[in-house]
Amino acid sequence: MRRRAPLPLLEKVEIIDVGAEGKAIARFENRVVFVPWAAPGDLVDIQVTRKKQQHYEGKVVKYHAFSALRVEPFCSHYGLCGGCKWQHLSYADQLQFKQKQVFDQFSRIGKFAFPEPFPILASPKTIFYRNKLEFTFSDFKWLTGEKFDKNEMNERNLNGLGFHLPGLFDRIVDIDHCYLQPDPSNAIRNFIRDFAIKTGITFYNVKKQQGYLRNLIIRDSSEGDLMVILIVQSEQPALLESIMEKVKTQFPAITSLMYAINPKGNDDISDLEVHLFSGKDHMIETMDGLSFKVGPKSFYQTNRQQALELYRTTRSFAALTGKERVYDLYTGTGTIANFLAREAKEVLGIEYVESAINDAVTNSTRNGITNTRFFSGDMAKVLNADFILSMGAPDVIITDPPRAGMHTKVVEQILTAAPQRIVYVSCNPATQARDIALMDSVYRVDKVQPVDMFPHTHHVENVVLLLHRESGTK
């Protein structure tokens, strides 16, 4: 059997850029090298970990010089937790790289004509900006800086509650203090972990699929609501009661204390019943004079302040006069649909998840909005010629698909519907550019507005206005 050649060590390589997925970029002998945690201007030695035809992937094993762009990371978990990988860059530099990411994706993938993107809309908050976090319990937390033999490892308490290590499904970083969600998020998480360890409640082992405590979700709202959802592996009423009562007593600010039982092999709770232990079964969010009911499984933008800017941009690009029929594709819980309804003749929202559609209807009703209609089902099947014929052709289409972008059948139906305007909201400029390229013969890009929803990460939202080439600017 032929032995594989060892992967090379690349010495004194300069980091020259940041890539679309947040990894830093270097070049070595005409080959691109992707490296996490580095900054443009670093001079480093890179151990290649994966060799592809067109590129290398690697990790920094030695720094010879540090980039002038570097700043001191503020979180003690930086370098392990994958949540805020760009802490070593100033926020101003992060914004520049995100702006460049949109331009590069449109230029390299889309290859269509587009105007200079507007300056990215910065987030007013760069820490404590999230209104939802999900943590994972594990009986095998990641240990750093210490070495133990097997016997010592067996005797140590390895229970932890935190986030998955990047690329490792079975290991978590035990989080002490997270800068993503405001208090009392940290206090609640740490209290439940410490109480469980003290009382001997078992933490989940994903490989063995054993252990009682699985996940913890904490949500808060602009109206002061606080929702805590504990996910456990099996029905043990007395044990569950003891935990929930302790949490309820310790944190009277919790307005919705809930739980779900998940015996499955995955952490998804969308198909599980969420039970109310105490308080109310929802939170209330307000935005631009609208009130939204948010349940335990409802989607709501996690950076609420930037969500308002995102929706304002969408509304501005739609340029509604009160006479338009609007299709809101991938409507979710109808937030954008209800946000636009006051300025449209009618808004039709389509979404795959039926429970989300129920939330959308509820939110229209609670706001006295009567010109919305919502439909659930597979977008590629619901949005067809019969639907357009029976509902009437749209004047404006809003589309806000998941990261994978739109199915080609959906793109084809949009072209058939031929609205005057398309406002394409995306969390992935790469798939957005791919989809726009498919419409380039019929639609031209008129405006591009990046929005930063997630500081200290590479993620960027992008809103694009497309105008029908034969309809002018109407």
Q: Which residues are catalytic?
A: 427
Encoded tokens for 204: 């989940």
Give the bridge partners for 421, in sequence order.
Answer: 396, 467
Dist CA 112 CA 446 (whole Å): 12
State the sign of the Cα–Cα–Cα–Cα dihedral 350, 98, 180, 162: positive
Six-digit token string for 462 = 């992008």
Q: Which residues make beta-bridge pairs with 230?
A: 216, 259
Residues 6+ apart with CB under 8 A from 414: 383, 397, 399, 406, 422, 439
Say how far apart CA 216 and CA 257 lie, in whole Å: 11
| Residue of 428, 104, 450, 178 whose CA lies nearest to 306 | 450
CA distance 197 to 188: 14
Scanning the structure block, which residue is given the tokens 């639609």?
443
Count of C-beta atoms within a 10 Å radius of residue 443:
26
Distance CA 319, CA 419 (A): 13
Q: Which helix (H) or strand (E) element contains residue 367?
A: none
Helix 429-438 crosses helix 408-417 at what angle (to 10 degrees)?
A: 50
CA–CA distance, 338 with 278 (Å, rounded to integer):
30
Token pair belonging to 422: 């398309």
